[in-house]
Amino acid sequence: MSTCPLCGRPKSPNKPFCDYCSSMLCEICNKKLSRGYCAVCGRLVCEDDSELVGFARVCKDCLRQDPNLADYEYLKNFIRFKARSSVWEQIELSSVISAGKEVFNHDKVYLHVGIDDTDSPYGMCTTYLGALIYEKLLSFGEPIDYPLLIRLNPNIPVKTRGNGSIAIRFLVDFSDINNIRDLVINLVEKSSHSFFRKTKPAVAIYITKDYAIDKRLFEIYLNSLRDVTPLSFLEKKLSNLSYGYLEILAVNKKARGIIGAVSAIGSILKDYTYELLVYRKMENIGKEREISFKSVLDMEMKYWRYTFDNIDNKRLLIAPVGPDPVLLGIRGDIPEKLLEAFKLIEHEPFSLWAIFRSNQWTHSHVTKIDSPSNARPYQTVMMKARVIKVERHGEKVILELESDGWRIIGRIYKMQRELQKHALELRHGDEILLVSSVFSREKENYLIVNVEEFITLELVPDISEGNPFCPYCGSRLKKKDKNTYICRKCHRKIRYPYKLVIIRPRKSLVEKKRYESPPRAHRHLTLPTKRIFFRAMKISNLMKPYLIHPVVGRNKDIEAQYVKMIKEIKIVY
């Protein structure tokens, strides 16, 4: 077996790249790994064949046809117009994969529904579909959990926004399975943005007799969270499914939504957060969102212990900016506190709200590695490294590091300016624990990464030299010649050839401290330092998840009521 030139994994000798990289190649050059998709035509594109316009990529072919797309305001208006005017035919989902052989003769069964890839740059949101489906399923059975908002690998270029998928878990009558199946399929078929080339939705329906999942589903989830998941990897895992019955519905077997839908079903959350998402009325989608900044500031002042990433300086973080149906989202660790916080915010009329339990802000996407040789493109890795030098290049700060014989180039961007400030205080010889997303490893023993945070492990101290003190009177000595000092106070001569070396700890940085990006640059899975306490409580099982009522609603004049503890789903090996 030879190795893939793009990632270092084993590959077949008769193929240029491994299965992982082949699924992520630029669709223009077919030689380099893609960095995203074109917001206009939907093709996966590499850096050389596209231009970053604001936060979106546009391929060189689309720019050639309309050079105005290089202007961010023009592109935003283009997307808004297309969001309002696009007309598409309703897709038809059919069963493309089934796995498992269990025959059900039970009155009650556990139903797991996974959904992914229904949105596009022009609107829609898979969470909105999840909230609608959850609301309708309440008339069929008993919810086992909140709707689950599962974020997968944030570096994957085929994502639209946050690479989020949805899982819903209910205890239902077996006789209702077909009706539920038809309901879910109908909603996904009607609502998906199928006109966009990249959008390939899928629904996964998994039925079990106990509240448990096959270990292979959990393995698919972990891989999709931390790495690239080729369809070949998923198909191999599902071919050995031995517990429960799984049916996947999509346009075809190659639909990318299949991976997210199955991964969501396989998710198990040791650490978790909640997000209350509020959805707009249809007639307002595409217009500027009406949210009172002052009311959000008041909410932040009152609920800062329980919520996070609401505001960054004067920037509102709870509201997206695109044409999707989300009006706002409040994140936190205690579900009823989100409902209380929601009541304080003044905003435009809404159609629906829902509370999701999620793996967001848990750092669960990070893989700890011993050597850069184990780092692959699109992974987020944590590794020890020693600083060689730090330089500013325009709006970027470039960290040059060494680890286990590998040269690492770390890039920190303008949006991370607080992290840039701390990185510029690093010096040659400092040892840090680096968390970064792997951009490229095409050269031997050479990595390019995007820095997300670092922890200082060992800092080179400040070292200065000075004249020693007089051993008789304590005054500072004065140098007379190469080997002699003289005391200006008591006039004694001291034969001493050395300087006094003074070692002081650094003032600009602190050892064993975490330096992270500011909230505006947080990714969906980034762990905010302020929730370290809740994270510890949840991982140690001192704080257990519980279900409140209501989970979805059409108005905000409600009081949260405790319903039941949430059982931890089991894994069948």
Q: Which of 175-189, 478-492, 528-542 has the lowest mean pLDDT?
A: 478-492
Whose tokens are 């050892």? That residue is 511
52: β partners: 57
139 CB contacts (<8 Å, ≥6 apart)? none
CA distance 480 to 495: 10
pLDDT tens per residue across span 230-248: 999 999 999 999 999 999 9
CA distance 487 to 479: 9
Residue 123 has pLDDT above 80, yes or no: yes
pLDDT band at 81 (very low <50, low <70, confident <90, very high): confident
78 CB contacts (<8 Å, ≥6 apart)? 40, 69
Whose tokens are 């820095």? That residue is 451
CA distance 445 to 440: 11
Structural domains present in the chain: 2-85 (3.30.40), 94-265 (3.30.70.2200), 273-363+525-561 (3.90.600.20), 366-461+511-521 (2.40.50.1010), 464-504 (no CATH)
Pairing of the two strands 366-368 and 380-393: parallel
CA distance 24 to 22: 5
Residue 103 has pLDDT above 90, yes or no: no
Q: Which whole-number Å values give the CA distances from 557 to 20, 303, 340, 553, in the listed order?
A: 49, 18, 10, 10
Overall size of the chain counted in residues: 573
Going by C-alpha positions, the residue among 429, 396, 399 that lies closest to residue 414 is 396
Residue 189 has pLDDT above 80, yes or no: yes
pLDDT tens per residue across span 20-73: 999 999 999 999 999 999 999 999 999 999 999 988 899 999 999 999 999 999
CA distance 5 to 469: 62
Give the pLDDT of residue 159: 79
Pair 385, 449: CB distance under 8 Å? no
Residue 87 in tokens: 């007309």
Give the pLDDT of residue 323: 87
Going by C-alpha positions, the residue among 322, 342, 338 that lies closest to residue 128 is 322
Q: What number is the average pLDDT over the span 73-98? A: 86
Give the pLDDT of residue 102: 76
pLDDT tens per residue across span 246-272: 999 999 999 999 999 999 999 999 999
How many CB atoms are closer than 10 A to CB 434?
A: 23
Q: Which whole-number Å values give the CA distances from 163 to 15, 30, 504, in the listed order?
A: 29, 23, 46
Residue 497 in tokens: 């050839």
pLDDT tens per residue across span 331-379: 999 999 999 999 999 999 999 999 999 999 999 999 999 999 999 999 9
Mean pLDDT computed over every residue of the chain: 94
Pair 309, 529: CB distance under 8 Å? no
Pair 391, 376: CB distance under 8 Å? no
pLDDT band at 274 (very low <50, low <70, confident <90, very high): very high
CA distance 302 to 282: 31
Pair 410, 449: CB distance under 8 Å? yes
Single-letter code of the amino acid located at 153: N
Q: Which whole-number Å values give the CA distances from 333 to 125, 265, 276, 550, in the listed order?
A: 23, 22, 11, 17
pTM score, whole prediction: 0.93
* CB neighbour class for 284 (10 Å; exposed up to 12, middle 13-18, buried from 19): middle
Give the pLDDT of residue 89: 74
CA distance 66 to 86: 19
Pair 400, 441: CB distance under 8 Å? no
pLDDT tens per residue across span 421-432: 999 999 999 999
To 5 degrees, how large is the angle CA 255–CA 257–CA 262?
A: 115
189 CB contacts (<8 Å, ≥6 apart)? 90, 91, 92, 93
Q: Number of helices (H) and strands (E) in the chain: give both, helices first.
A: 12, 36
Residue 144 has pLDDT above 90, yes or no: yes
Question: According to the 3-state scheme, what is the secondary structure of 349-387?
Answer: CEEEEEEEEECCCCCCCEEECCCHHHCCCCCEEEEEEEE
Whose tokens are 């602190």? That residue is 510
Burial 92-122 (b: 16+ CB within 10 A, else e): ebeebbebbeeeeeeeebbbbbbbbbbbbbb
What string of DSSP letters covers 309-358? SSEETTEE-SS--SSSSEEEEEEES-HHHHHHHHHH--BS-EEEEEEEEE
Residue 381 in tokens: 């890795």
Residue 255 in tokens: 């639909």
